[in-house]
Amino acid sequence: MLAMNKIKILGITVITIAATVVITSCKDKRSTGWEYAPNMYEHIAYDPDQPNPNFKDGKTAQKPPVGTIPVGFTTFDYPNTKDGYELAGTEVKSPLPQTQQNFADGEILFQHFCSPCHGMTGQGDGLVVAHGFPAPPSYSKGQSSRGGAMKDLSDGKIYHTVTYGVNAMGSYASQLAPEERWKVIMYVHHLQTL
């Protein structure tokens, strides 16, 4: 090694320093960094949230064709009107059995999806409300905007509200599957008694 002449040593030094500078200097948090053969990182199969040139609207996530329903899906054929609400209130009942498991699932789902506004105990005092969102009425003490006390709301009325939304509340149909909605309602019935 020591027999190497000055020029060789100098050459190696220069090459290494240059390589180090070139390779390590381009660190930018806005880029993914060095890529080698990224073929399978750039997916051939489309993910649901990717653009897709094969469809007219350019989206991979397509809506199901009109008039079709997924296997095992229960439809809710009540329109988003006052009459539909009242009718659902008298006709629709929860299909779920009253089990501890369903109740526990409902509690978690309620905490994840409803408590930001309705509060952990359904009093309409969630953290989002504390930051300026209009407060919803309390489940146990409030009055419903569609008549009657909140604590008297039936299965079907709550299901109609969760599905379509009302007033400042949006529809939760895209976030909660029908069965999950029923689990939440099971827990809401408990909060109505508080």
Partner 1 sequence: MRSISLILKQFSRSVVLVAGFAICGFSAYAQGDAVKGEALFKSKCTTCHKLDQRLIGPALGPQLESETDDKWLTKWIQNNQALISAKDQKALKIYNEYNQSAMTVFGDLSDGDVSNIISYVRTEYKKEKTAAPAAGAAQAKAAESGPSDLVIFGLIGVIVLAFIVILVLNKVIATLERLLLKRQGLEPLLEEEPKEEGAPVDRFALVKKLAKNKKFIFFVVLCGILASVSWTWMTLWNTNVHTGYQPVQPIKFPHDLHAGTMQINCQYCHSGAYKSKNASIPSLNICMNCHKVVKTESPEIHKIYDALGYDPATQKYDSTKSRPMQWIRIHNLPDFAYFNHSQHVKVAGLKCQQCHGPVETMKEVYQYSPLTMKWCIQCHKRTEVNMKGNAYYEKMEQVHDILRKGGKVTEAMMGGIECGKCHY
CB 193 to partner 1: min, Å:
22
User: Based on CB atoms, which residue is closest to partner 1, 12 or 93?
Assistant: 12
User: Based on CB atoms, which residue is closest to partner 1, 65 or 132?
Assistant: 132
When asked if residue 91 is in the footprint of partner 1 (CB under 8 A), the reply is no
Among 176, 185, 188, 191, binds partner 1 (CB under 8 A): 176
When asked if residue 104 is in the footprint of partner 1 (CB under 8 A), the reply is no
CA-CA distance, 106 to 185, in Å (whole number)?
A: 7
When asked if residue 81 is in the footprint of partner 1 (CB under 8 A), the reply is yes
Q: Could you give phi then psi for residue 166, rounded to 5 degrees?
A: -155, 145
Among 5, 31, 75, 100, binds partner 1 (CB under 8 A): 31
Among 3, 5, 48, 100, binds partner 1 (CB under 8 A): 48
When asked if residue 65 is in the footprint of partner 1 (CB under 8 A), the reply is no
Segment contacting partner 1 by CB under 8 A, of 13-21, 90-98, 151-159, 184-192: 13-21
Among 3, 5, 7, 33, binds partner 1 (CB under 8 A): 33
Buried b or exposed e, range 111-142, using 16+ CB within 10 angstroms: eebbbebbbeebbbbbeebeeeeebbbbbeeb
- The binding site for partner 1 (CB under 8 A) comprises 1-2, 9, 12-13, 16-17, 19-20, 23-24, 29-36, 38, 40-41, 43-45, 47-49, 51, 57-59, 81-82, 111-113, 116, 127-128, 131-137, 143-147, 165-172, 174-177
